[in-house]
Amino acid sequence: MEYVLIIISAIFVNNIVLSQFLGICPFLGVSKKVGTAVGMSAAVTFVMALATCVTYLLQYYVLVPLGIEFLQTVSFILVIAGLVQMVEIILKKISPSLYQALGIFLPLITTNCAVLGVALMVVQKQFGFGGEAAHFFNLGQSVVFATASAIGFGLAITLFSGIREQLELSDVPKPFRGVPIALITAGIMAMAFMGFSGIV
Amino acid sequence: MSKLKIIANGIIKDNPTFALVLGMCPTLGTTTSAINGFGMGVATMFVLIMSNIVISAVARFIPNKVRIPSYIVIISTFVTIVQLLMQAYLPSLYETLGLFIPLIVVNCIVLGRAEAFANKNTVGDSACDGLGIGLGFTLSLTVIGLVREILGSGSAFGLKFISGDGVLAFVLAPGAFIVLGYLMVLFNKFVAKKE
Amino acid sequence: MAKESTFKNMVIVLGLICLICSALLAVVYSVTEDPIADALIAKTNDAISQVLPEYDNMPGEESSLVEVNGQKYVVYTARKGESITGYAVESKAAGFGGELKLMVGFDAATGDIYNVYVISHSETPGLGAKISDNSPGNFKEQFKGFNPAEKVLKVHQEGGDVDAITASTITSKAFTSAVSSAYDVYRQLKGDSADGVTSATQTNIGGGNDE
């Protein structure tokens, strides 16, 4: 039951883009076409789940025992950068077709703050769902949370790209063109997502 | 290019928020009030100046292929320094800004300036660039924070001028997007045209 | 410009950078370690001083661990002369945005809540974050002098006597439940282990009192 609550909360209630403001750069940058948006979210989901798993283990089996938690930010970002590179190389060898589809998005993910954000969130924040006391996530919950957050990112960016494709065809006043109208659209979407607040 | 010109460029022509549209996450996430926006801006400015200085100094010695990881390590070191200093001397601001302090690492502005400016310019120019861009960022964040605070909480820099609440939506997530969008429209209309 | 990207060069440069950076961080960490700890203690003492009635000892140094319903709570005891004047209980609950941590002070004699202090929270600014609001007529105010023995520590929607913050029922409920578990701790301390409050173990973690 708790997993269901984590998933619903991460996708809808605390949507990573529309209510936590993480991953805004790709959200604005690669949302012009639905196709690229879907590709990006698939790549993010994969990397985010993997990265959170690895950084979780790093935190509790290396940094905490050695008492060097102050290296958290440095080591996490290095792990993520390395991981992205590795995924890129492996994907190229094992599945060229998948690489073709996701490859161009992978380098962009290192600087996607959603990945680092989620990795830090699961080790820094305590969560509580369904009325139980707040606690730190265990490994399984962390990975589920990361995957669900990434799906939330995917949902937001895919819906958003659909709207932006329509916007391309409409006559927008000149100063509004490009990013400003996209931001205002995102604001209205965020308002719609606020309707989910309180269901978990 | 004179040093002053570099600084001025960062504030207006290359304004990171309104002209370059970089570093959107902290711009939206931390601007619930003018003070918070200002604090975040200053923290980012410190990291920008320091990383620009160090990177411009050592860029010559770094092999091209490990450029990005090296920059990231340098940047994250300064971010951690800011994090530790804030925790020690400004604990309440640290709590408000929370997760967004470590996330300065992945703020595209910092890495972007390292790539676009610091690694091909002198230490002095890079420091000025960091200062200019940092000031531009701080200014933008403070303005966004101020607008959201005035509309959303009916106060400015923590001083309340109406009793009760403002339009709550402006303090919440949707307001962040909408305020930034409209400010960008104004910037496009009035400031960008003059350049 | 840049050095040649031979394997040896890359390993040396990256290794060197990592080494220098972690050394630098270790230095900064050791310098800031004490101020960070001091800031935390100062915050706890500030919280304690706001939620306790008159005292002449140092409650911050007189802390004990109390276990109620399987949860451990830190309790600070206030004394004036020989008599105990109040207890400050550190309590937490899961709010809307994450953990919600409170310091709840009780008058030792009457069981009235003296005051509540929000240590940390991650609630939505403008909504749930109003729990830490200090302006007149704020949410916390209604807990001052609230006696959980006479009134019900639950929000109105659940049949209690607490006015929830508009549009922030989850946060208000979490706040109230944290206060309510703090009250369980208080009752435990007074030796009144009625409904549900079982198995108490009290260990002293504070240094140097002659109790």
Digitized pLDDT (tens) for each residue of chain C, 211 residues in all: 456 778 888 888 888 888 999 899 999 999 998 998 988 888 888 888 888 887 788 777 778 888 887 788 888 888 888 788 888 998 888 877 778 888 998 888 888 888 899 888 878 777 788 888 777 778 888 888 888 888 888 888 888 888 888 778 888 888 898 898 888 888 888 875 444 334 444 555 544 443 3
Alpha-carbon distance A119 to nearest alpha carbon in chain B (angstroms): 11
Number of domains chain C is built from: 1
pLDDT at A82 over 90: no
State the pLDDT at residue B183. Answer: 93
What is the spatial distance between Cα C138 and Cα B165, in angstroms, rounded to a whole number?
12
Section A109-136 average pLDDT: 77
pLDDT band for position A152 (50/70/90)? very high
Examine residue C18 and state whether it is found in any structural domain, yes or no.
no
- With a CB cutoff of 8 Å and minimum separation 6, the contacts of C69 are C181, C184, C196, C197, C198
Q: Which amino acid is at A105?
A: F
Q: Which residue has the higher pLDDT, B45 or C44?
A: B45
Put simply, the answer to whether A70 touches C122 (Cβ < 8 Å) is: no
Alpha-carbon distance C196 to nearest alpha carbon in chain A (angstroms): 16
Q: Which amino acid is at A162?
A: G
* Chain A touched by C14 (CB under 8 Å): no
Residue in C3, C18, C126 closest to B152 by CB: C126
State the pTM of this model.
Answer: 0.83
Put simply, the answer to whether B81 touches C13 (Cβ < 8 Å) is: no
Burial class of B155 by CB neighbour count within 10 A (0 to 12, 13 to 18, 19+): middle
Examine residue C145 and state whether it is found in any structural domain, yes or no.
yes
Q: Which tokens in the block code for residue B52?
A: 């620009």
Contact B12, B4 (CB under 8 A): no
Provide the domain limits for residue B93.
3-189
* Model pLDDT for residues A92-122, shown as the tens digit of each residue: 888 788 787 776 777 778 778 889 999 998 8
Put simply, the answer to whether B74 touches C21 (Cβ < 8 Å) is: yes
Residue in C1, C21, C36 closest to B87 by CB: C36
Residue in B61, B165, B168 closest to C3 by CB: B61
State the pLDDT at residue B156. Answer: 83
* Chain B touched by C5 (CB under 8 Å): yes
What is the spatial distance between Cα C95 and Cα A3, in angstroms, rounded to a whole number?
18
Q: Mean pLDDT lowest for which of A139-143, B143-147, C168-172?
A: C168-172
Provide the domain limits for residue C185.
49-205
What is the spatial distance between Cα B103 and Cα B113, in angstroms, rounded to a whole number?
16
Chain C environment of B75 (Cβ under 8 Å) = none
**Mapped to the 3 state alphabet, what secondary structure does A86-99 carry?**
HHHHHHHHHCHHHH
Q: Mean pLDDT lowest for which of A6-20, A117-131, B87-101, C171-185?
A: A117-131
Contact C141, B187 (CB under 8 A): no
- Helix ranges (H only) for B59-169 are 67-89, 91-97, 108-116, 123-153
Q: Which tokens in the block code for residue B136?
A: 């531009």
The CB density around residue C194, as the number of other CB atoms within 10 Å, is: 8
Examine residue B194 and state whether it is found in any structural domain, yes or no.
no
What is the spatial distance between Cα A54 and Cα A178, in angstroms, rounded to a whole number?
37
What is the spatial distance between Cα C55 and Cα A88, in angstroms, rounded to a whole number?
64
Residue A180, CA atoms < 13 Å, CB-side half-sphere: 18
Mean pLDDT of all residues belonging to chain B: 87
Question: What is the chain A residue with the closest CA to C30?
Answer: A70
Q: Which amino acid is at B173?
A: A
Put simply, the answer to whether C29 touches A129 (Cβ < 8 Å) is: no
Q: Best interface-test mutation with A: which of C11, C19, C20, C22 has the largest number of A CBs within 10 A?
A: C22
Residue in B73, B105, B180 closest to A183 by CB: B180
Contact B53, B126 (CB under 8 A): yes
Section B77-93 average pLDDT: 90
Burial class of C56 by CB neighbour count within 10 A (0 to 12, 13 to 18, 19+): exposed
pLDDT band for position A52 (50/70/90)? very high
The CB density around residue C28, as the number of other CB atoms within 10 Å, is: 19
Q: Which tokens in the block code for residue B29?
A: 């996430």
Number of domains chain B is built from: 1
Chain C environment of A70 (Cβ under 8 Å) = 25-26, 29
Give phi and psi for B19, each to the nearest 5: -100, -45
pLDDT at A147 over 90: yes
Contact A135, A127 (CB under 8 A): yes
Chain A environment of B173 (Cβ under 8 Å) = 18-19, 21, 190, 193-194
* Model pLDDT for residues B94-138, shown as the tens digit of each residue: 888 878 888 898 888 888 888 888 888 899 999 999 999 999 999
* Model pLDDT for residues B163-175, shown as the tens digit of each residue: 767 787 888 888 9
Put simply, the answer to whether A74 touches C22 (Cβ < 8 Å) is: yes
State the pLDDT at residue B69. Answer: 84
User: What is the DSSP annotation of B26-55?
Assistant: HHHHSTTSHHHHHHHHHHHHHHHHHHHHHH
C135: helix, strand or coil = coil
pLDDT band for position B78 (50/70/90)? very high
Give phi and psi for C105, each to the nearest 5: -105, 135
What is the spatial distance between Cα A96 and Cα C160, in angstroms, rounded to a whole number?
62
B158: helix, strand or coil = coil
Examine residue C14 and state whether it is found in any structural domain, yes or no.
no
What is the spatial distance between Cα A171 and Cα A178, in angstroms, rounded to a whole number?
12
Alpha-carbon distance C14 to nearest alpha carbon in chain B (angstroms): 6
Q: Which amino acid is at B16?
A: P
Report percent pLDDT > 70 for chain B: 97
ipTM confidence:
0.84
Pick from B184, B187, B21: which is nearest to A29 by CA?
A: B21
Residue in A78, A117, A193 closest to B73 by CB: A78
CA of B124: how far to CAs of B53, B169, B192, in Å?
A: 8, 43, 27
Put simply, the answer to whether C10 touches B160 (Cβ < 8 Å) is: no
What is the spatial distance between Cα B26 and Cα B161, in angstroms, rounded to a whole number?
27
Q: Which chains touch B (3 or more CB pairs under 8 A)?
A: A, C
What is the spatial distance between Cα A42 and Cα B98, in angstroms, rounded to a whole number?
28
CA A131 from centre of chain: 26
Put simply, the answer to whether C169 touches A198 (Cβ < 8 Å) is: yes
State the pLDDT at residue C169. Answer: 82
State the pLDDT at residue A128. Answer: 64
pLDDT band for position A13 (50/70/90)? confident
Section A175-192 average pLDDT: 90
C-alpha dihedral over C12, C18, C19, C23, to 10 degrees? 160
- Considering only CB atoms, which residues of chain A are within 8 Å of chain C? 14, 70-71, 74, 125-129, 131-134, 197-198
Q: Which tokens in the block code for residue B113?
A: 């300036």
Residue in C94, C96, C97 closest to A133 by CB: C94
State the pLDDT at residue A198. Answer: 66
The CB density around residue A33, as the number of other CB atoms within 10 Å, is: 14
The CB density around residue C105, as the number of other CB atoms within 10 Å, is: 29
Pick from C96, A189, A101, C47: which is nearest to B176 by CA?
A: A189
Examine residue C127 and state whether it is found in any structural domain, yes or no.
yes
The CB density around residue B8, as the number of other CB atoms within 10 Å, is: 16
Pick from A179, A190, A11: which is nearest to B180 by CA?
A: A179
- Considering only CB atoms, which residues of chain B are within 8 Å of chain C? 32-33, 58-67, 69-70, 73-74, 76-77, 80-81, 84-85, 87-89, 91, 95, 98, 152-153, 160, 165, 168, 171-172
What is the DSSP-derived secondary structure letter of residue A135?
Answer: B
Section B54-61 average pLDDT: 90
